[in-house]
């Protein structure tokens, strides 16, 4: 009797992936007919990714922020596909992209990126880790620029509290967080709270401490703002002022 596909003398074999493969007399797996996996596209291996990131970092350090933002955006998906979304190098690229968008006044993009960065850092490193607090500071600034100063103050309250617990009162990172938090307090019409913030810092520091002089100067600045309200400097200008030191601190694991 002649055999034919589907006939009663024909044996049906099921491949490993669940598909039916018909061949008379023996079982066959379709996996043996699949082509070998393709090599990764050029520029997506770990060594090439590190080289591309260093080139983008050099652009950001030299204030070529538009070019750096394009490079970071192009690398982010490659890092996620090659290294994973929670890999330190992937988070570094996401942080750099968010910072470029913030410095270039693209606050809506920065808000989404800082939100993801803060969530991933807090989940993998803990909420009081320096990288988590750095991302929370960016989240506060982006929230204030895209939404309201009141919402930024809510984030800033927990940011300053976390910096005091993690770094202490005499750390420069705590002082930087207080500067930005006080700025949003003033933007929300709470200059009195900004003044009291620096008064508490001044009394918490030991005598003759260098940060104490900064706290005293900021206290008098905000005391004057209570009596004579005036427009503050735009926040992105202050962000760019700290550009090189902030970039280097993150790479050194200090912020």
Asked whether the beta carbons of 102 and 239 are under 8 A apart, the reply is yes
Instruction: Please report, for the chain, the start and end positions of each structural domain, with discontinuous segments joined by +.
Output: 45-104, 129-249
Domains 45-104 and 129-249 agree in fold: yes
Residue 6 is predicted with a pLDDT of: 45
Closest CA to 102 of 153, 144, 58, 148: 144
Per-residue pLDDT at 38: 53
- Cβ within 8 Å of residue 147, ≥6 positions away: none
> Quick one: which H or E segment has residue 12?
strand 12-14
The list of the chain residues with pLDDT below 70 reads 1-43, 228-255
User: Which residues, at least 6 apart from 221, have a Cβ–Cβ distance to it below 8 Å?
Assistant: none
For the domain made up of 45-104, give the CATH fold: 1.25.40
pLDDT digits (tens, 9 = 90+) for 208-228: 887 788 888 888 888 888 876
Find where tokens 């982010």 sit.
76
Task: Give the model confidence (pLDDT) of 129-157 as tens digits.
Answer: 999 999 999 999 999 999 999 999 999 99
Angle at 162 between CA 157 and CA 166, to 5 degrees: 155
Residues with Cβ within 8 Å of 154's Cβ and at least 6 positions away in sequence, in order, are: none
- Return the CATH architecture of domain 129-249: Alpha Horseshoe (1.25)
């Amino acid at each position: 009797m002649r055999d034919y596909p589907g006939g009663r003398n024909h044996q049906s074999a099921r491949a490993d992936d669940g598909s039916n493969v018909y061949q008379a007399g023996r079982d066959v797996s379709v996996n043996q007919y699949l082509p070998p996996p393709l090599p990764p596209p050029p520029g997506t291996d770990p060594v090439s990714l590190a080289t591309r990131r260093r080139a983008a970092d050099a652009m950001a350090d030299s204030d070529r922020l538009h070019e750096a933002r394009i490079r970071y955006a192009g690398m982010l998906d490659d890092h996620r596909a090659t290294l994973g979304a929670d890999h330190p190098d992937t988070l570094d690229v996401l942080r750099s992209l968010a910072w470029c968008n913030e410095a270039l006044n693209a606050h809506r993009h920065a808000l989404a990126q800082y939100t993801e960065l803060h969530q991933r850092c807090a989940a993998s490193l803990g909420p009081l880790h320096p990288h988590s607090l750095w991302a929370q500071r960016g989240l506060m600034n982006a929230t204030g620029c895209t939404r309201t100063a009141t919402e930024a103050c809510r984030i800033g309250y927990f940011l300053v509290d976390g910096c005091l617990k993690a770094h202490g009162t005499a750390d420069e990172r705590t002082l930087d967080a207080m500067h930005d938090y006080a700025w949003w307090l003033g933007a929300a019409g709470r200059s009195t709270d900004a003044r009291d913030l620096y008064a508490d810092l001044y009394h918490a520091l030991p005598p003759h401490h260098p940060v104490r002089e900064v706290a005293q100067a900021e206290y008098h600045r905000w005391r004057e703002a209570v009596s004579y309200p005036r427009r503050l400097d735009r926040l992105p200008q202050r962000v760019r002022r700290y550009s090189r030191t902030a970039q280097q601190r993150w790479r050194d694991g200090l912020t």
